[in-house]
Amino acid sequence: MVSRQQLQNLARQHGTPLFVVDHEVLRENYLEFRKKLPRVQAYYAVKANSDPAIIRTFYDAGASFDVASIEEFRLVYENIKSLPDKARQDFIWNQIIYAHPVKDNQTLKELDPYKPLVVFDNQAEIDKIKRYAPHAGLILRIKVLNTGAVVELSSKFGASPSEAVDLIEAAFQAGLVVEGLSFHVGSQCTNFQNYVLALNLMAEIFQEAWDRGHPQMKILDIGGGFPVRYDNQVQPFDQLAELLNTELDRLFPRGLEIVAEPGRFLVATAGTLVATVIGKAIRDGKQCYYIDDGVYHTFSGIIFDHISYEIKAFTEGPTQISAVFGPTCDALDTVSLAAALPDLELGDLVYSENIGAYSHASSTYFNGFPPAKVVHVNQS
């Protein structure tokens, strides 16, 4: 765990904005997930943070990978490219899933030689896969309730439960093999009932598919959504794990392979952002600070991921509710309107913890300001 002193030293050494990734925390998160969900193989959802060093650490820890673009596939492939042919192909079969339900033709063509596992949720996708990636194995994504999740995904993806078996039949008729089912309860899903309802639904669809003579279906992918404790309102992971283990054992035979695609859970707590106060003003009686990172950069999760981050100071003193703005010329670039901060001087450092997921990954170069520099600590 990186100390406050280390953060300040790193900022002095490298400058700010600085995105600090603690690989010890990455390894701990992965181990916690595996330990608490012993039946579940963890496929790191690369989109949460696709930094090659993060992928490498998870690879070394034995993780599998959820990729959702050909570029993410290539990033994972970098780690296995020098393995002997059979070991490399086994890794692709057993430890990579292409989890985006909609793929362009070129991506399918590029994936096909690797005989990957790919997700689909509609007839047009079956037609494309048959034509451009006939060697792929298929996973059907089902739409499930995302109620109470911070990031809703079900309006964009997932076959409705009523069309599930027809799509399975259509894929088999097209000469493809459906190997299982997946779902996503929504990201930062604090409503654990979503998982319970989804698992019960999956058990019904599996049963119907097996009854119709499709024993090839043997993988259940329970997606992502595992919430991070950004605050104490979020119930501990232990509670969710206990619930999931009970339901998985109750509903599914031992032989069923169970996998998950955790993104946020594995990386959020490993990332800390350090920024510098570059301006200050009193506006309408309120203390306002301008820092050198904002919503077009590492704080992009405020917009895209609907998460708010606490801004902390390294100095002590009586606090007042302050506004914190990013460096660009846009007023949307507002990091917080209610940060409790002591009186800060120009040049002082501030930091935000638990900012490792969906943050640096969606950073832009808007207004000429580049993404924060990244430093990796505790890299084995």
Ligand X SMILES: Cc1ncc(COP(=O)(O)O)c(C=O)c1O
Query: Which residues are tagged catalytic?
Result: 329
Looking at 265, 289, 290, 296, which residue binds ligand X (CB under 6 A)?
A: 265
DSSP state string for 140-188: EEB----TTEEE--TTTS-B-HHHHHHHHHHHHHTT-EEEEEE----EE
* Closest to ligand X by CB, 92 or 139: 139
Contacts of 343 (CB under 8 A, 6+ apart): 287, 317, 318, 320
Residues between 38 and 77 that touch ligand X (CB under 6 A): 45, 48, 66
* Closest to ligand X by CB, 187 or 354: 187
Residues between 187 and 206 that touch ligand X (CB under 6 A): 187
User: Closest separation between CB of residue 47 and ligand X, Å?
Assistant: 6
Rounded to a whole number of angstroms, the CA Rg of the chain reads: 22
Looking at 20, 99, 136, 313, which residue binds ligand X (CB under 6 A)?
A: 99
Using CB under 6 A, which of the segments 79-87, 211-219, 223-231, 287-295 binds ligand X?
223-231
Using CB under 6 A, which of the segments 195-203, 219-227, 270-278, 283-291 binds ligand X?
219-227
Looking at 17, 137, 180, 224, which residue binds ligand X (CB under 6 A)?
A: 224
Q: Does the protein bind ligand X through residue 184 (CB under 6 A)?
A: yes
d(CA 262, CA 282): 42
- 198, two tokens: 């989804």
User: Closest separation between CB of residue 150 and ligand X, Å?
Assistant: 9
User: Closest separation between CB of residue 355 and ligand X, Å?
Assistant: 14
Q: Return the residue matching tokens 């608490």.
A: 36
Using CB under 6 A, which of the segments 217-225, 244-252, 271-279, 295-303 binds ligand X?
217-225
Residue type, 175: G
- Tell me, what DSSP letter sits at residue 258? E
CA dihedral sign, ordered 35, 97, 256, 240: positive
Query: Quick check: 134 and 112 in contact, CB under 8 A?
Result: yes
Q: Which residues bind ligand X (CB under 6 A)?
A: 45, 48, 66, 99, 153, 184, 187, 223-226, 261-265
